[in-house]
Amino acid sequence: MELSSIYWNSKGSTRHATRILPTRGWTIVRDDTERIELAMRAGDVMRRGRRLPSLATELRQRPPRSEVGVLDRSVAILSAVERGARSFTDIVEGTGLTRPTAHRLIRALEDHGFLLHVAGLGYALGPRLLALSTVAMRELPLRDLARPALERLARSTGESAQLFVRDGDQRVCIDAVESASELRTIVDVGAALPLVKGSAGKVFLAWTTREDLDHALRSVERADRQRQAVATTRRRGWAESVGEREAGVASVSAPVFGPKDILLAAVSVSGPASRLGNLRAKRYAPAVIAAAREIEAALGSPTPEPTS
């Protein structure tokens, strides 16, 4: 994040942010099934009371179903490296492939930039995958449909606005609109941030299972306090945070639900704590909730039922 002229990235270092411009011209998806599938591809999604696995997790857990064996074996290699396989032997053991087949496919994946061999470290996912993920992030229909609401939210509050989706134990920013103020916060598009810090994280934890919440809070100090904040978020329908991820920064977030009560995203405003602190959060909450409802309307989702 940024205060004044400092750009804060997801690893906590200061540097100038890389801008990713939104792509226009997407066809609006109106079918409920397609929108649910889109949400699953954007990251983990939550149904009220039940967690649905991300598409990547689902692909790792189920056997390949395509009739293109070479593609299935190549994906198996990438999945093994994603899970932590670093040596050639690790990949062979993790995929069950013969050594000649694994060697041939690894070389091909390296040639195409999908795998990278780092001396002393072993294999890693390659830069081509990063480039593809950047394009996919930029072209998400969810992002395009939410953009007008984000712009209006930033304009009406005078603060920076962001849209997050969940990916495992992180939340990923898929779009952001900066405040016009010189003293402002910036979250880079593509930044992966922890679930256990910040108001958007509370939103994702408020609409998940008890088991998932226990897992997320397993190493958090004063987890009982965090549980109380999550319960408060679910009861009132929005969350706030002050100085949780970065000193002097505050935020307010609300959930964006899709068809069949699936939690698709969290919409947020963030700014200096001097303007957006605890005593002022309630003033911003109605605008953030209205932006969430506006995004839901753009998706064609019905108004969610009030939470208990």
DSSP code for 72: H
Q: CATH classification of 32-53+139-299, choosing from 3.30.450.40, 3.30.2320.50, 3.40.50.970, 3.40.190.10?
A: 3.30.450.40
Cα–Cα distance, 212 to 217 (Å, whole number): 9
pTM across the whole model = 0.58
23 or 258, which is more confident: 258
At the top level of CATH, the class of 63-132 is mainly alpha
Cα–Cα distance, 304 to 175 (Å, whole number): 23
118 or 61, which is more confident: 118
Q: What is the pLDDT of residue 56?
A: 41
Among the residue ranges 12-16, 101-105, 156-160, 296-300, the one predicted with the least confidence is: 12-16
Q: What is the pLDDT of residue 305?
A: 52
Sign of torsion over alpha carbons 240, 149, 237, 29: negative
Query: Average pLDDT over the chain, rounded to whole?
Result: 78
Domain ranges of the chain: 32-53+139-299, 63-132
CB 249 within 8 A of CB 243: yes
Q: Could you report the per-residue pLDDT of 110-139, keeping only the tens digit for each? A: 999 999 998 888 999 998 887 777 666 655
Q: Which residue has the tokens 């329908």?
A: 237
3-state helix vs strand vs coil in the chain, percent to 5: 45, 20, 35
